[in-house]
């Protein structure tokens, strides 16, 4: 075999060898344990921070509201539906019972017409009354524009919550 062919094969062999070594070195450690992916990624995915909590953690402190709610149409609603994510709030309040709650952890208190309209505004797509074998769901639909828009005397716009207790509408 001529010399140049030998050298050429040598160069290619070095490249391929280098590549194979590199492949072993750079392959992440848990790769291929459970399939063609990093097994550790499953664990990493489970570590993401939470923001929403579970309903029980609210009613531990807010017992009065729970009683209110249980007697009304909103019995099935979880607090976070209207008030937003409450994990930090509930953790802080649960752990430091005697301390004042920092402003950043105060939850959103919806009260504007648009807040209620998001579920209750008249819309043909919104379910009317569903009589289902499993469940009966009904959402009141209100024409937000015409349903007592403002105080007839003072002309100040009404908020829904001025007449309806949101926890027991």
Per the CB < 8 A criterion, the answer to whether 91 and 107 are in contact is no
CB of 140 to other proteins, least distance (A): 11
Residues engaged in binding other proteins (CB under 8 A): 2-5, 7-8, 11-12, 15, 19, 22-23, 26-28, 31-32, 34-38, 41-42, 44-52, 54-55, 76-78, 80-81, 84-85, 114, 117-119, 121-127, 130, 132-135, 137, 139
Q: How far is the CB of 93 from other proteins (least distance, A)?
A: 19
- 3-class DSSP state for residue 13? helix
Q: Which of 160, 130, 129 is nearest to 143 (CA)?
A: 160
The two structure tokens encoding residue 73: 């149409």
CB of 142 to other proteins, least distance (A): 13
Residue 167: how many other CB atoms lie within 10 Å: 21
Identify which of residues 63 and 114 has a Cβ nearer to other proteins in the complex.
114
> Among 74, 81, 75, which residue's Cα sits nearest to residue 54?
81
Least distance (Å) between residue 152 CB and other proteins: 27
């Amino acid at each position: 075999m001529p010399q140049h062919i030998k050298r050429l094969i040598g160069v290619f062999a070095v490249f391929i060898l280098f590549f194979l070594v590199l492949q072993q070195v750079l392959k992440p450690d848990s790769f291929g344990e459970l399939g063609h992916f990093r097994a550790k990624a499953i664990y990493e995915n489970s570590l993401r921070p939470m923001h929403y909590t579970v309903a029980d953690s609210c009613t531990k402190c807010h017992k009065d509201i729970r009683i209110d709610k249980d007697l009304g149409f909103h019995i099935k609603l979880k607090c976070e539906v209207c008030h937003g994510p409450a994990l930090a709030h509930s953790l802080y309040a649960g752990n430091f019972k005697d301390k004042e709650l920092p402003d950043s952890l105060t939850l959103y208190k919806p009260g504007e017409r648009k807040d209620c309209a998001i579920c209750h505004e008249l819309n043909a797509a919104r379910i009317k009354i569903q009589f289902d074998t499993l469940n009966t769901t009904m959402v009141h639909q209100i024409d937000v524009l015409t349903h007592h828009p403002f105080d007839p005397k003072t002309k100040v716009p009404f908020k829904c919550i001025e007449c309806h207790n949101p926890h027991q509408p």
